[in-house]
Amino acid sequence: MNDQTALFVKMALDGWNTQNKRFTDLINKLSDEQLHAETAPGRNSGIYLLGHLAAVNDAMLPLFGFGQRLHPEWEEVFLRNPDKSGLPKPPVAELKAELEKINAQLHLNFAKMQPQEWLGKHAAVSAEDFANEPHRNKLNVLLNRTSHMAYHLGQMAYLS
């Protein structure tokens, strides 16, 4: 792979790391009471968005071939159902600690990847589909998840 691919991968990882740091800084600054509040009237609560992003990041582990999810049970609570579904949510402290573990595992595995691996298919796309749509690669997933995190970070900023 050429230096340009490595440069694009570095830029994407830098964006991912920046958004993760901003999100972590924000959730560590907010109290449990603030995180239980809605980001706006009738909107998601901070704890729901924290759990949602933790569940999304957790789902990246098998998507990238890094192993199984650490918390598959979070999919039902934070990905398949809305905030006010009535399903019980883990405590804020648990969500924060587990998100830190998930992100550490992602960071460790991302650091081991070579630039060309980022252009390879992820686990949710078939070989046939990938041959026709090579943009459905791991780098594209990272870019998508980075912008997704930034979107929810913007919502959560209203809690501070």
Gap between the Cα atoms of 146 and 123, Å rounded = 18
3-24+40-159, superfamily in CATH? dinb family like domain (1.20.120.450)
Question: According to the model, what pLDDT value does residue 51 have?
Answer: 99
Tokens of 119: 């252009």
* Cα separations in angstroms, 124 against 66, 97, 128, 137, 138: 13, 27, 12, 10, 10
The answer to pTM > 0.75 is yes
Give start and end residues of each alpha helix (H) in the chain: 3-29, 32-36, 46-63, 74, 92-112, 115-118, 127-132, 138-156
Phi, psi of 129 (to 5 degrees): -65, -40
Along the 160 residues of the chain, how does pLDDT read in single tens digits? 579 999 999 999 999 999 999 999 999 999 999 999 999 999 999 999 999 999 999 999 999 999 999 999 999 999 999 999 999 999 999 999 999 999 999 999 999 999 999 999 999 999 999 999 999 999 999 999 999 999 999 999 999 9
Residues whose CB falls within 8 Å of the CB of residue 14, separated by 6 or more in sequence, listed in order = none
Q: Is-contact 146 110, C-beta < 8 A?
A: no
Question: According to the model, what pLDDT value does residue 2 have?
Answer: 76
Gap between the Cα atoms of 28 and 9, Å rounded = 28
| Ranges of each domain in the chain | 3-24+40-159
